Each structure stands twice: as C-alpha cells, then as structure tokens.
Amino acid sequence: MKIAILALQGAFAEHGQMLDALGAEHFEIRQKKDLERGFDGVILPGGESTVMGRLLRDMELCEPLRRKIADGMPVFGTCAGLILLAKSVEGGISCLGTMDIRVKRNAYGRQLGSFSTEQTFKGIGKIPMTFIRAPYIVEVSGSAEVLAETGGKIVAARQGRQLACAFHPELTKDVRVHQYFLDMVK
Ligand code: GLN
C-alpha cells in the first residue's frame, strides 16, 4: 500500500511521520507528473485552502485529482484539506468539490481559532483533537455521514472512501485516525 501526500503547502510532513509510525509507504505530490506514480490513497493536509486551491489549479493538478477521487481513490483531508473536498464552502470557494458537505471556513473566529479537546470519533472512540483556525462542517448531505462533533458542530465526516476532519490528528501522538484511513484504503 502506498499513500500520496499533497505537498504544495502546509502541514504535509506531519502526515508522513504518522504514516511512518504505522509502517505505511508514502511519497509527496509536488507536481503534475507525481500523479502518474501508482498510489492507493491520498492525503490532503492542513494549511491555507485558498493558497492550496490556487496552486492546485495553477499546476493543473485539480482536475486529475478530482477525477481520481471521483473514481474511488481513497482520500483523507484534514482542515484545509477538508475545505478542498467540500462541495460548498462558506467564506471561500469550492475546489475539488467531491464530498457532499457544506463547510464554514475560519469558523470559530479569531480568539477561538486554535484549541484542543477530546471527543468521540465514530468507530474509534475518544481521541484528542487539535483545531487551528479550523473550519467546521455546517451540514452533510447525500451519502456523507457524521463521524465526530464537538460543541454541537460537525468536525469529521465520511462519504464512501472520502474522509475529512476539521482538526489535525497528525499534530497529536494518536495514530488511530490515520489507521482508520489506512483501513479504508485496504
Ligand atoms: N484556515 C485555513 C483555511 O481556511 C485552514 C487552517 C488549517 O488547515 N489549519 O484554509
């Protein structure tokens, strides 16, 4: 099993460390030709979704990536990565738009922009959650299902082989969300 990590911007290295801890092979997508390498799943990291979206479009990565995901390539988006996957974005523009979720960017305001909590993640149990200028999911539709909530807001969802978290599991020591994703890829 080989996982590709989008490495245009943001917190991509930390995902690599999580995959190392789980013994999963991975490489970084930095340009269009990297998409030609064989891989079984892809991670879209946190960072700045507007910048990442622009780079994806400028580098002509957007359409091929969208097609792969639409064709069933497992994908895991964290924070800005979640925003890239959303069909509808409040305070931003939809990029890949493959997931039936509506998200609100920078949803907690400036002061509450970064915080940590511990909540239940469906199928895993209680996990630590670190939020950094995070979005939340306003609503899920279609076949998308809610996996976690905090303070009455949806912060993780899954639709088929697409997984999205508003928080950053890669910034904790808990590898279980990454393991959950690898189980989706298998
Ligand atoms: N606020 C960022 C955005 O809107 C997301 C923050 C993050 O990925 N930590 O893209």
Q: Which residues are catalytic?
A: 79, 168, 170
User: Cα–chain-centroid distance for residue 179?
Assistant: 14
**Mean per-residue pLDDT for 104-130?**
90
- Lowest-pLDDT range, 11-15, 30-34, 106-110, 137-141? 106-110
pLDDT greater than 70 at residue 175:
yes
Report how far residue 126's alpha carbon sits from residue 2's, in angstroms, rounded to the nearest whole number. Answer: 28
Structure-block tokens of residue 52: 């990442």
Ligand 1 proximity of 77 Cβ (cutoff 6 Å)? no
Looking at residue 136, its amino acid is Y
What band does 110 get if pLDDT is binned at 50, 70 and 90? low
| CA angle centred on 82, ends 120 and 60, rounded to 5° | 160
> In 3D, which of 174, 167, 157, 170 has the Cα closest to residue 26?
170
**Ligand 1 probe mutation, 78, 95, 132, most atoms within 8 A of CB:** 132
- Which residue's entry shows tokens 């076949």? 143
pLDDT greater than 90 at residue 112:
no
- Lowest-pLDDT range, 84-88, 112-116, 178-182? 112-116
pLDDT greater than 80 at residue 109:
no
Task: Quickly count: other Cβ atoms within 10 Å of residue 149's Cβ.
Answer: 17
Give just the sign of the alpha carbon dihedral 28, 29, 30, 33: positive
**Ligand 1 probe mutation, 105, 112, 115, most atoms within 8 A of CB:** 105
Neighbour-count burial of 99, counting CB atoms closer than 10 A to its CB (0-12 exposed, 13-18 middle, 19+ buried):
buried
CA of residue 115 to ligand 1 center, whole Å: 14
Neighbour-count burial of 142, counting CB atoms closer than 10 A to its CB (0-12 exposed, 13-18 middle, 19+ buried):
exposed
pLDDT, one tens digit per residue, over 52-71 is 999 999 999 999 999 999 99
Structure-block tokens of residue 23: 């013994």
pLDDT greater than 90 at residue 137:
yes
CA of residue 79 to ligand 1 center, whole Å: 6
pLDDT, one tens digit per residue, over 122-136 is 999 999 999 999 999
pLDDT greater than 90 at residue 113:
no
Contact 138, 103 (CB under 8 A): yes
Report how far residue 113's alpha carbon sits from residue 180's, in angstroms, rounded to the nearest whole number. Answer: 26
| pTM for the predicted model, two decimal places | 0.97
pLDDT greater than 90 at residue 108:
no
